[in-house]
Amino acid sequence: MAVVNSNFELNIVSFNMKGFHQGFSVVSDLVEQCKPDLFLLQEHWLTSDRLYMFDKFFSGYFNVGSSAMSKTIEKGMLRGRPFGGVTVLINNSLRMVTQTIHCDERYVVIEIANYLFVNVYLPCVGICDRLMICDDILYDICAWYSAFR
């Protein structure tokens, strides 16, 4: 990737959507008012086949993310409340200096102009094996960071 000059600035917003339809209006308002370069979004609750909705409704951005429900859907019909999912919406003007490093159901690692960005959604209290899941996520992120340097 090309090195960007020292005046490089990014406007970044991190937001827990609590569902795509619940958080859509906030993200839409932020696009109009703040025009962020990056949205680090958590808990979009979309299945893999519905991730296109980010591209459809936020045409000035491209999407790097994943669904947290893929494994659940593979087992059969979706039951109960949807959950999880992380994505990063990146302004189209940054497409040429963006590289996806890793996408997982709980975190996304991207490189933009020699900077590493990680969007993480850690499990909440009451999740089985919460501490082990957090340890695994943080270990993986540290490994990606070490490989990046």
Q: What is the CATH number of the domain that holds 87?
A: 3.60.10.10
Asked whether residue 3 is domain-assigned, the answer is no
**pTM of the prediction?**
0.87
Asked whether residue 140 is domain-assigned, the answer is no
Largest CA distance in the chain: 51
Q: Where does the pLDDT of residue 124 fall: very low under 50, low under 70, confident under 90, or very high at 90 and above?
A: confident
**Residue ranges of E strands in the chain:** 12-16, 38-42, 61-66, 86-91, 98-103, 107-112, 115-120
Q: Where does the pLDDT of residue 2 fall: very low under 50, low under 70, confident under 90, or very high at 90 and above?
A: very low
Give pLDDT, residue 84. Answer: 82
Q: Where does the pLDDT of residue 3 fall: very low under 50, low under 70, confident under 90, or very high at 90 and above?
A: very low
- The domain tally of the chain equals 1
Asked whether residue 5 is domain-assigned, the answer is no
Residue 78 pLDDT > 90 = no
